[in-house]
Amino acid sequence: MPKVLISDKMDPLAAQIFRNRGVEVDEITGKTPEELMAIIGKYDGLAIRSSTKVTKEILEAATNLKVVGRAGIGVDNVDIPAASAKGVVVMNTPFGNSITTAEHAIALMFALARQLPEADASTQAGKWEKNRFMGVELTAKTLGLIGAGNIGSIVADRALGLRMKVVAYDPFLTPERALEMGVEKVELDQLLARADFITLHTPLTDQTRNILSAENLAKTKKGVRIINCARGGLIDEAALKKGLESGHVAGAALDVFAVEPAKEHPLFGTPNFISTPHLGASTTEAQVNVAIQIAEQMADYLTTGGITNALNVPSLSAEEAPRLKPYMALAEKLGSLVGQLAHGGIARVSIHSEGAAAELNQKPIVSAVLAGFLRVHSDTVNMVNAPFLAKERGMEVREIRTEREGDYHSLIRVSVKTGAGERSVAGTLFGDAAPRLVELFGVKVEADLAGDMLYIVNEDAPGFIGRLGTALGEAGVNIGTFHLGRQSAGGEAVLLLSVDDPVGPDLVAAVRALPGVKTVMALKF
C-alpha cells in the first residue's frame, strides 16, 4: 500500500481521501529539514503547502518518493529540476485557491485605501481619531496589474466591478485576451507611470524577481499604493521602505515576504504599511478545494498512474491511464531491448506509433521507451526523469504517428541511430493487453520479452539448434520458449530464447564458440 506524508497543515479531508483511496497517510507537521530527511525515506508521496521546502537534500534522502503534491499554486519551495532528475513527479492545484487569493488582494487594496488596520487599532485604543484617517476612493482609479493569469484576471474582474480602470503588464497576455478581460495591455513603464494601485500576480522567476526594484519604484506615480499577494522576492523590500518613509509610496500591503516566516522585518512599524502572514490562500473554501484536489491527484498517481497538473511530466488522466498502461509496458520493453542490443553512442531515438497506438497520448509512450532504454545503464531511471536524462545526454528524440493500420491493429516501432547506422524493433499488443515483439532488426520474430533471454544471430544451417540445446543443457540452463526468425533460408537467423536461469558470461562464450554463431547476448526484462 503506498504511503504519503502530509508535512504542512492541511484540511483533514486530504487525509480522509488518501485513506479512502487505499493510501496510508501520516500527518507530521512542523519538522525541521533534518527531521524530515530522517523520515522521508519510507514515503511514496509528500503532500505540502508552502512551509515545507523540498530541497535537493530532502529529495536525495527520499529514496522511495514518487510524487510531491503542492496543495496550492506556487511551487518555488520545490526544487523541480532536482525532483525531475530523481524521477519524482511534482504536481500542484492551479485553480483551487485563485478566487480566495484574488479576494485577499482586493481586501488589502481596500485596507490601504481606507487605512483600516490603523483606524481599527486607534479606535480600539480609545482615540476616536476621525480626522486622522482620510481615505481615497477606488472608483475611477487606475489599477496596475503585473501578471494577468488566473489570479490576476479575477482581480481585474473584481476591480472592474468597482469601476476602476485596469492596465495590465504581462508579456504573455494576448491583445485578444486583454480585450476579453476588459483591461488595457501596457508595457511595464507605462503601468508604473499610470497606476494609482499596483498589484502583483506573477510567479517568482528570474524574470520577475525584483520586478518592483528601487529603479522601478522610482518610476511609479507619487502616492501609489502597492499590494503583493504573490511572492516576496518580487519587490525590493528595502526600497519599498524608503518609498513609504519618503511618502512617495502612500501605502503598501504585503502578504508575502522575501524570507518567510517573517517574524521580524524592517518594514514592520513603517507608516502606511500593512502585512498579513501569507494568508492569500487561507479561507475554508480554498483549503478544502486544494486539499481535496491534491489528495485525489496524488492518490490517482500512486494507485493508477494517472497524472494531473504535473509540472515536470505530461498529464495522463485516470481514464487514459488504464488504456495506455499496456502500450507503455510494450514501449518500455522495446526501449529496453534496443538499449541492450545497441552499441555505441545513440544520436537519435525515433518512436513511431501506428494504428490504435497512434490515437493515444504519445508523451507517456515516448517517456516509457526512453525509460526502458536508459534503465539499461542506470536503475534510477523512470518515466519522469527519462526525457530529462535523454536531453542531458544529447539524444534527439523523434515522435511519429501513422493513424492507419498496417499488418497489425497497433504497432510501436523504436529505431535508434548510432554511428553504425539505424536499426529498429517493433512490437504490438495481443488481445489489447499482452506486449509482443514482432520484428527485430528487420527480421520477423514473435516473442514475449520477459525474464532472462538469450539473443543469438547465426548462419541458418542444419544441426545448429541441436548443438545450442546441448550447450545450454550442459550448463544446466532450461529453455522456456524458443522464437526463431530469418530473412531467407540459409541466410541469417535470429533466435530469441527465454531461459529459466540467468545466462552467465561462460555460457555466452560457449554459445559464441558454436559453429556459425555471429552474435550472442544475454538479455534481461
Ligand X SMILES: O=C(O)CCC(=O)C(=O)O
Ligand Y SMILES: NC(=O)C1=CN([C@@H]2O[C@H](COP(=O)(O)OP(=O)(O)OC[C@H]3O[C@@H](n4cnc5c(N)ncnc54)[C@H](O)[C@@H]3O)[C@@H](O)[C@H]2O)C=CC1
Which listed residue (49, 141, 165, 194) binds ligand X by CB under 6 A?
Answer: 49
**Closer residue to ligand X (CB): 73 or 181:** 73
Binding to ligand Y in span 342-401, by CB under 6 A: none
**Closer residue to ligand Y (CB): 203 or 451:** 203
The answer to the question of residue 284 lying near ligand Y (CB under 6 A) is no
**Closer residue to ligand X (CB): 49 or 225:** 49
Q: What whole-number distance in Å separates Cα of residue 325 and Cα of residue 248?
A: 60
**Closer residue to ligand X (CB): 21 or 278:** 278
* Cell (9 digits) for 187: 508595457
Site size for ligand Y, by CB under 6 A?
Answer: 32
Which listed residue (7, 50, 52, 385) binds ligand X by CB under 6 A?
Answer: 50
Contacting range for ligand X; rule: CB under 6 A; set: 71-79, 178-186, 319-327, 438-446: 71-79
What are residue 416's DSSP bridge partners? 349, 423
Report in angstroms how near the CB of residue 17 gets to ligand Y at its nearest: 21
Q: Name, in order, each residue with C-beta under 8 angstroms of 189's C-beta and a sequence gap of 6 or more.
A: 219
Torsion of CA 374, 377, 380, 385, to 10 degrees: -30
What are residue 457's DSSP bridge partners? 494, 519
Q: How far is CA 254 from the centre of its chain?
A: 29
DSSP H or E stretch at residue 485: strand 479-486
Cβ-contact 483, 497 below 8 angstroms: yes
Binding to ligand Y in span 164-193, by CB under 6 A: 169-172
The answer to the question of residue 289 lying near ligand Y (CB under 6 A) is no
**Residue 208, contacted partner among ligand Y, ligand X, none, CB below 5-8 A by kind:** ligand Y
3-state secondary structure 184-195: EECCHHHHHHHC
**Residue 314, contacted partner among ligand Y, ligand X, none, CB below 5-8 A by kind:** none
Report in angstroms how near the CB of residue 95 gets to ligand Y at its nearest: 7
Query: Which residue of the chain is nearest ligand X when measured via CB?
Result: 72
Contacting range for ligand Y; rule: CB under 6 A; set: 36-44, 55-63, 77-85, 90-98: 90-98
**Residue 170, contacted partner among ligand Y, ligand X, none, CB below 5-8 A by kind:** ligand Y
The answer to the question of residue 326 lying near ligand X (CB under 6 A) is no
Kindly report whether the peptide bond that precedes residue 2 is cis, defined as omega within 30 degrees of 0.
no
* Amino acid letter, 451: G
Q: What angle in degrees, to the nearest 10, is found between the helix axes of 320-341 and 284-304? A: 50
**Closer residue to ligand X (CB): 9 or 42:** 9
Which listed residue (7, 52, 84, 97) binds ligand X by CB under 6 A?
Answer: 97
* Amino acid letter, 296: E
Q: What whole-number distance in Å separates Cα of residue 500 and Cα of residue 292?
A: 47
Each residue of 380-419: b (16+ CB within 10 Å) or e? ebbbbbbbbbbeeeebebeeeeeeeeeebebbbbbbbbee
Q: By C-alpha distance, which of 168, 164, 211 is closest to 190?
A: 168
Contacting range for ligand Y; rule: CB under 6 A; set: 223-231, 312-320, 358-366, 440-448: 223-231
Which listed residue (33, 74, 314, 480) binds ligand X by CB under 6 A?
Answer: 74
DSSP type of residue 359: G
Contacting range for ligand X; rule: CB under 6 A; set: 78-86, 275-283, 398-406, 442-450: 275-283
Report in angstroms how near the CB of residue 204 gets to ligand Y at its nearest: 6
What are residue 422's DSSP bridge partners? 417
**By rule CB under 6 A, what string of x and - marks binding of each residue 263-282 to ligand Y?**
---------------x-xx-
The answer to the question of residue 228 lying near ligand X (CB under 6 A) is no
> Could you tell me where the DSSP H helices lie in 87-187?
98-114, 116-124, 150-161, 175-181
Q: How far is CA 525 from the centre of its chain?
A: 28
**Closer residue to ligand X (CB): 78 or 389:** 78
**Residue 480, contacted partner among ligand Y, ligand X, none, CB below 5-8 A by kind:** none
Q: By C-alpha distance, which of 377, 448, 436 is closest to 409?
A: 436
**Does residue 483 have an active-site annotation?**
no
Report in angstroms how near the CB of residue 279 gets to ligand X at its nearest: 7
Q: At 350, is the secondary structure helix, strand, or coil?
A: strand
Torsion of CA 219, 221, 224, 229, to 10 degrees: -40
**Does residue 278 have an active-site annotation?**
yes
Which listed residue (40, 256, 383, 496) binds ligand Y by CB under 6 A?
Answer: 256
Q: Count CB neighbours of 488 within 10 A.
A: 8
Residue 458 phi, psi dihedral angles, 5° rounding? -145, 165
Q: Which of 194, 201, 225, 231 is catalytic?
A: 231
**Does residue 260 have an active-site annotation?**
yes
Just list the catalytic residues.
Answer: 231, 260, 278
Binding-site ranges for ligand Y (CB under 6 A): 72-74, 94, 97-98, 101, 146-152, 169-172, 201-203, 205, 207-208, 229-231, 255-256, 278, 280-281
Binding-site ranges for ligand X (CB under 6 A): 49-50, 72-74, 97, 278, 280-282
